[in-house]
């Protein structure tokens, strides 16, 4: 858990840095001084007021100004086209890792995962909440198709979004939740666990309505049945689509 909290702290620090450095105007004076700033007031042929990256407001006479360059950064074009949320469907192969794939333990082989709900909503430009409802299965190595691991669950957590371009967004999603698992054709019943999932992926905004998604997730959960216990760790690669929400 310490590594999890450290990761969250680093993510918050990085996103804060993005917010602090998103200045789009460059004002160069005749004496060579350059300000990276936002112009907050401008009176033609008289003066401008700027807010610098240090959050200092400065009034400058126009006869002292050599050049004003107005930049359009990724963050600006992103804000013009961004929508706050998305909801969609994803599916792809999941690969068992560790004890789950061990021939002397879980026997799991490559399976399939479907995210019936892949949801996210941003409360600010970079931070929001995400929710997944998923189902998955993995056949057992050396056994018939009648025997397989089946599991599903609901996951939720913070959503960190970083714009890469006007149409591409990078998501980072650490999540916790509730998950359940069973073994088909074996009378063991259903076991429950609290999983940890770390996911990251890209959203390609094809239009104002539709986005294509590509995600990679690592998930771990420890299940306890009456007669045995099983650690399940999987790496899942998924693709899908999402409707963009206001």
Q: How does residue 22 score in pLDDT terms, banded at 50, 70 and 90? A: very low
pLDDT higher than threshold 80 for residue 101: yes
Q: Tell me what pLDDT residue 114 has.
A: 96
C-alpha distances out from residue 142 to 102, 104, 106, 146, Å: 12, 12, 12, 11
- 11 compared with 63, residue with greater pLDDT: 63
pLDDT digit string, tens, across residues 174-214: 999 999 999 887 778 899 999 999 999 999 998 888 999 99
235, 97 in Cβ contact below 8 A?
yes
Average pLDDT, the chain: 86
CB atoms within 10 A of CB 52: 14
Q: Which of 13-22, 86-95, 113-122 has the lowest mean pLDDT?
A: 13-22
pLDDT higher than threshold 90 for residue 170: yes
pLDDT digit string, tens, across residues 203-241: 999 888 899 999 999 999 999 998 889 999 999 999 999
98 by DSSP, 3-state: which?
Answer: helix
Per DSSP, 94 falls in state E
Could you give the CA distance from residue 6 to residue 73 in angstroms, rounded to a whole number? 29
Q: Tell me what pLDDT residue 117 has.
A: 96
178, 217 in Cβ contact below 8 A?
no
Q: Tell me what pLDDT residue 188 has.
A: 80
Residue by residue, what is the 3-state secondary structure of 173-206? Answer: EEEEEEEEEEECCCCCCCEEECCEEEEEEEEEEC
- 27 compared with 146, residue with greater pLDDT: 27
**Residue percentage of the chain with pLDDT more than 70:** 85
Q: How many helices (H) and strands (E) does the chain have?
A: 2, 14
pTM over 0.75: no
pLDDT digit string, tens, across residues 44-97: 889 999 988 777 889 999 999 999 887 655 444 445 456 789 999 999 999 999
94, 111 in Cβ contact below 8 A?
yes
Q: Tell me what pLDDT residue 184 has.
A: 82
50 by DSSP, 3-state: which?
Answer: strand
């Amino acid at each position: 858990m310490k590594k999890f909290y450290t990761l969250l702290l680093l993510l918050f620090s990085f996103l804060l840095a993005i917010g602090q450095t998103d200045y789009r105007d460059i004002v160069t004076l005749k004496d060579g001084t350059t300000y990276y700033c936002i112009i907050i007031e401008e009176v033609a042929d008289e003066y401008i007021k700027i807010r610098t990256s240090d959050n200092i407001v400065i009034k400058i006479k126009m006869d002292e100004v050599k050049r004003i360059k107005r930049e359009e950064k990724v963050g600006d074009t992103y804000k013009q086209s961004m929508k706050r949320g998305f909801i969609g469907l994803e599916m792809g192969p999941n690969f068992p890792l560790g004890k789950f794939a061990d021939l002397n333990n879980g026997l799991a082989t490559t399976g399939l995962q479907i995210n019936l709900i892949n949801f996210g909503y941003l409360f600010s430009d970079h931070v929001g909440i995400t929710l997944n409802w998923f189902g998955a299965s993995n056949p057992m190595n050396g056994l018939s198709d009648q025997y397989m691991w089946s599991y599903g669950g609901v996951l939720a957590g913070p959503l960190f979004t970083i714009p890469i371009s006007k149409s591409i967004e990078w998501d980072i999603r650490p999540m916790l939740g509730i998950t359940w698992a069973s073994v088909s054709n074996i009378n063991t019943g259903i076991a429950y666990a609290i999983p940890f999932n770390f996911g990251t992926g890209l959203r390609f905004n094809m239009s104002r309505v539709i986005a294509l998604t590509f995600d990679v997730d690592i998930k771990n959960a420890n299940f306890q049945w009456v007669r045995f216990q099983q650690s399940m760790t999987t790496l899942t690669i998924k693709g899908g689509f999402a409707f963009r929400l206001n």
